[in-house]
Copies of this chain bind each other. A is one copy, B any other.
Amino acid sequence: MSRTQPHYFGAGPALLPAEILQQAASDLLNYKDSGLGLGEISHRSALGVNVVDSAKATIKQLLAIPDTYEIFFLQGGGTGEFSAVVYNLLASFALKTGKKGKADYLVTGSWSQKAAEEATRLGVDVNLAVDARKGSANGKSYGTIPDPSTWTLGSAAETAYVYYCDNETVSGVEFPYIPEVPEGVELVTDMSSNILSRAFDITKFGLVFAGAQKNIGMAGVTVCIIKKQLLARPKEADLVALGIPLPPLVLDFPTIVKNNSLYNTLPIFNVHIIYLTTQRLIDNGGLKVQQAISEAKAKKLYDALDAAPKGVYNCIVEADSRSRMNVVFTIPGEGKEKAFLDGAKERGMTGLQGHRSVGGIRVSNYNAVSERSIDMLVDWINTFAAST
């Protein structure tokens, strides 16, 4: 078995490096000469625990995570986390204050919107401290991060956490900074689509989570990094008395952490791919190097789009909120987008359709997308613009 690395720009599940897939395929049949494949060994065996510990260690090293934080793995993806954040952050806040906390959501795209909706559904008093749709032409479009001076953040006495999505894959909006929040309020972020593309200061956060299927590995595992002190809990009866919903055990962070992510059966094979991906980043020089590569690739794309004759490409996202990970644009004119996609396909480039909810073109520029793929696409962006 071998493969030619494709020129694929899908938004996730996304491309993986060829050498990692080769290694994973081999490990699926016979892992470390154990005679068993990695999908067959017990998660609690020495080999299984080592997979978990290895992935934790490489994440810790790459992101320079101090001992005051825990790394753990969950199932259920980002959507599972939308709920898990509610249960767990409200429980921590209740221990600290004896109250049911409120929550601030910075809604800058469809994923933070979904997270806010789930919190509301689960009974949280949600404050949309930012609603980036307001002020857009139709009141529904995302494409900007409003200035922090306009945010209506709640007080530390009442607010358990501030939630935001660091990179919105659908609309292509990425935070260029870490939001400032009042002292004592925990900052929570969904980094599913841009984690491992740049270094960041974890100590600004109470919780960072990321579904694995974009920049880290395959679907089926979510990486969580939490400030250890947020794992303390009041009695569950006290939470119920405060009207705070209890998590199902599979989303109860203290239970998962106490058991080194092995309270129940974790998909070890999927975790192993996280290990391979993070070890490869370390071998390649770490996140500073990857960050430079990610930024250079994104710059090439935006430069080409901006350099095209006016009106050919329409980048909706404001310049200072443009995502390095998901470059989103439309091509005005009947049949133009189809012609662009068809031409790309003829040249061996796929996965460029925009999200079904917004249409247009979306170029996902995750870590596994090579500079060669980006160069080919930039060439096509230029050629298409010249011919149109």
Contact = CB atoms under 8 A, between A and B. Distances in A.
Interface stretch (A20-28, A52-60, A160-168, A172-180): A20-28
A236 B121 contact: yes
Contacts of A219: 39, 43, 265-269
The 5 A-B residue pairs with the shortest CB-CB distance in the complex, in nearest-first order: A83-B248, A220-B267, A79-B264, A39-B218, A25-B25
A269 to B, nearest CB: 6
Contacts of A248: 76, 80, 82-84, 87, 118, 122, 247-248, 251
Q: Give how many copies assemble into the complex.
A: 2
Contacts of A13: 39-43, 265, 268
24 contacts: A1-B1, A1-B25, A1-B29, A1-B30, A8-B35, A8-B36, A8-B40, A13-B40, A13-B42, A13-B43, A15-B40, A21-B29, A25-B25, A39-B219, A39-B273, A75-B77, A76-B80, A77-B250, A82-B249, A118-B249, A213-B265, A220-B220, A220-B221, A270-B270
Size class of A's contact patch?
35 or more
A130 B265 CA distance: 27
Interface of A: 1-4, 6, 8, 10-16, 21-22, 24-26, 28-30, 35-37, 39-44, 75-80, 82-84, 87, 118, 121-123, 211, 213, 217-221, 236, 240, 245-251, 263-270, 273, 350-351, 356
A218 B27 CA distance: 14
A2 B270 CA distance: 21
Contacts of A123: 240, 246
A21 B36 CA distance: 11
A251 B79 CA distance: 10
Contacts of A249: 79, 82-83, 118, 121
Nearest to A78: B264
B269 A218 contact: yes
A42 B75 contact: no
Contacts of A273: 39
B264 A77 contact: yes
Contact of A39 (B4, B16, B30): B16
A276 to B, nearest CB: 12
Given A1-B1, A21-B28, A29-B1, A265 B39 contact: no
Contacts of A266: 219
A169 B318 CA distance: 57
Contacts of A36: 6, 8, 15
B28 A270 contact: no
A248 B131 CA distance: 24
Contacts of A24: 28, 39
Contacts of A356: 44
A346 to B, nearest CB: 14
Nearest to A22: B29
Contacts of A78: 264-265
B14 A25 contact: no
A211 B11 CA distance: 28
